[in-house]
Structure 1
């Protein structure tokens, strides 16, 4: 199933792979601002002779053309950074204060570039085509949708993505059938009461009291109305209420997020949020306005594709490399590609306590064990080869 030429190419380019990642790490760009990163990728692809086109405003879609009569498999690597101050002291630290690759997207881009190099060296042997997505704006859950809207998935038969994962041991590979990342939604609730002097509460409707009651009661949507075997998380992350210590608040605004795996659970919570807000407001004589925004869908690994990833990993890196990481309630906009074709999303471990790379994603001390880069690059390329040769 695996191709030894790919394995040898990744091995021979492992030093370049590390350097690519360090270069990208030192020059982070935020979502839809990845202009230099886009040019960096285009320059590299031109040197490899791989055709590509830019997407708007940032991002690149490239194609390694083998047998035109064969299938097309797509490989995705995201490339945006975060508004986070880098805290760890490394030689390749971010050159821009307040911006950092704190989630591993620099690794994804560099791994996909080296995978592209390996596949381009053997394009005449490919029984199909490999499409490459260098995706912007994953962190704001808009980049995958933008690429799909610009034709990224047209003619694609299968799609595969990778995420470096600091919570797994270095070089372990996890890709289980079924949900792996949750649907991630956000909501805003605005309560309107009647403000007034803090010494005259009988003339007022206290929006702070209404909002507080909602925060305490809305958790029962999950704890008392959802099947415990259908995972769901409802989090209130922000509440703004009041203007002064002796003024009863007229307005309160709450923001939060909902994470689910199953569509029916998602639908139920969305409906219940409005019911709870309106009924709590009615108890106090206030009004409520709810805005519910669906973000990313759940990443649901197609069974055949996920099992192919496991088989490829076992053959390429040994049976012990296959790991069973539990699903996360985190969101991933890779799901937008899965609405257009079957596919799977794998995790590649990069956590190593000896190298201090077990920090949580989105932390200022986040870093990766660079030994995992070659594993990710080879997994990209070997999966494409295995799928096209099925």
Structure 2
């Protein structure tokens, strides 16, 4: 199942792999602004002679055509950065862009897939099928995958595979569980309108601060008392904007939060309950409520066949000890939109190493990766494609 030529190629290109990752890390671009990253990918693929087309406005869809007839497997890497200030100022490859940083590892994903593509391209005549390469923008705002699907990224594809570097796992460990992996991630906004007035005359007002506070305290019971405990769910209020001055009773309050779960029925139920709770809390005080609910990513549900193939590839390529049992996360991933179209799976590759200070949480200003994990991720991309096409 494992192709030795791929393994040797990835090892030979390890220095280049690190160099590409560091270049991308130092030049972060936010969602839908990845123009330089897109140009770099196109130039790299062109040098390899790999056919590609630029997506709009950013992103790249490429294809390695095998020398033999067969299926088509897609490999996906995201490439956008975050609005996070890098705190690792001493790194020689620290971000050059103030307030922008690759704080989630997408620089690693892109570099891993480029080197995987280079290795696969060298054995393309042996490939019984084709390898689609998807370099995706805007994962961090959960709109990139959906747009790439619209632009034909998975047309004619039989299976899709993605990887995420994971700082909560030891370096070089590989996890790919069957079933739920990442949760659906939705955003809600609740706007309460009361009646403002002087802080000394509350009898003439409807205090939006009290309304909003009551809602925040009560809405937690949606999960704790109306959702089956065997269906994991998280409801978090992350932002509350209310009031203008110390002696003015607030007329308006705006609350923003997120809902995470794995089960579609639970998702529907929580959305409905948010509306019910907001309206009833507002009615108690004589205020009004408006709920806006935006459905972001779907839950990432790994196909059984694909997940087992990842585990098989990982054990054969890196040893049985490389396999790791990582629990599903309530984090969101728009890779789910590819899985809505074709079967596939999403794997985690560990990059956490306390000796290298790479166990910081994703999206933190001190996030960094153990670069020893790059070769593991790159080879996993390439070996999975080889194994799938040869199954």
2-side partners of 1:199 and 1:32: how far apart? 49
Any idea what the Cα deviations from partners look like across 1:280-331, whole Å, max 9, x if unmatched? 1011111110000000000110111000000000000000000010111010
Given the alignment of the two structures, is residue 336 of structure 1 paired with residue 337 of structure 2, yes or no? yes
Contact 2:68 2:127 (8 Å CA) reproduced: no
Where does residue 212 of structure 2 map in the other structure? 211
Counting only pairs closer than 5 Å after superposition, residues 127-142 of structure 1 correspond to structure 2 as 127-142=128-143
Q: Which 4+ runs in 1 deviate beyond 6 A? A: none
TM-score with structure 2 setting the length: 0.99
Where does residue 363 of structure 2 map in the other structure? 362
Counting only pairs closer than 5 Å after superposition, residues 315-354 of structure 1 correspond to structure 2 as 315-354=316-355
Shift of residue 229 of structure 1? 1.0
Three-state SS of the structure 2 residue aligned to 1:128 is strand
Where does residue 153 of structure 1 map in the other structure? 154
Shift of residue 67 of structure 1? 4.5
Any idea what the Cα deviations from partners look like across 1:157-199, whole Å, max 9, x if unmatched? 0000000001100000000001111000000001111111122
TM-score with structure 1 setting the length: 0.99
Where does residue 221 of structure 2 map in the other structure? 220
1-side partners of 2:330 and 2:289: how far apart? 28
Where does residue 29 of structure 1 map in the other structure? 29
**Gap runs ≥5 in structure 2:** none
Shift of residue 90 of structure 1? 0.7
Where does residue 281 of structure 1 map in the other structure? 282
Counting only pairs closer than 5 Å after superposition, residues 113-262 of structure 1 correspond to structure 2 as 113-262=114-263
2-side partners of 1:110 and 1:200: how far apart? 62
Three-state SS of the structure 1 residue aligned to 2:258 is strand
Where does residue 96 of structure 1 map in the other structure? 97
1-side partners of 2:226 and 2:167: how far apart? 34
Of 165-174 and 61-70, the range deviating more from structure 2: 61-70
Contact 2:68 2:125 (8 Å CA) reproduced: no
Shift of residue 244 of structure 1? 1.4
Three-state SS of the structure 2 residue aligned to 1:370 is coil
Of 336-345 and 202-211, the range deviating more from structure 2: 202-211
Contact 2:18 2:371 (8 Å CA) reproduced: yes
Any idea what the Cα deviations from partners look like across 1:4-52, whole Å, max 9, x if unmatched? 1110111111111111111111111111101000010011001100000
Where does residue 81 of structure 1 map in the other structure? 81
CA RMSD of aligned residues (A): 0.8
2-side partners of 1:288 and 1:97: how far apart? 39
Any idea what the Cα deviations from partners look like across 1:33-75, whole Å, max 9, x if unmatched? 0100001001100110000000000000000001463110000
**Gap runs ≥5 in structure 1:** none
Counting only pairs closer than 5 Å after superposition, residues 296-311 of structure 1 correspond to structure 2 as 296-311=297-312
Any idea what the Cα deviations from partners look like across 1:119-146, whole Å, max 9, x if unmatched? 0000000000000000001111111011
2-side partners of 1:250 and 1:21: how far apart? 50
Give aligned pairs, total.
390
Where does residue 69 of structure 1 map in the other structure? 69
Where does residue 269 of structure 1 map in the other structure? 270
1-side partners of 2:277 and 2:376: how far apart? 48
Three-state SS of the structure 1 residue aligned to 2:128 is coil
2-side partners of 1:337 and 1:67: how far apart? 26
2-side partners of 1:276 and 1:288: how far apart? 10
Where does residue 19 of structure 2 map in the other structure? 19
Given the alignment of the two structures, is residue 377 of structure 1 paired with residue 378 of structure 2, yes or no? yes
Of 182-191 and 198-207, the range deviating more from structure 2: 198-207
Of 64-73 and 237-246, the range deviating more from structure 2: 64-73
Where does residue 58 of structure 1 map in the other structure? 58
1-side partners of 2:27 and 2:20: how far apart? 11
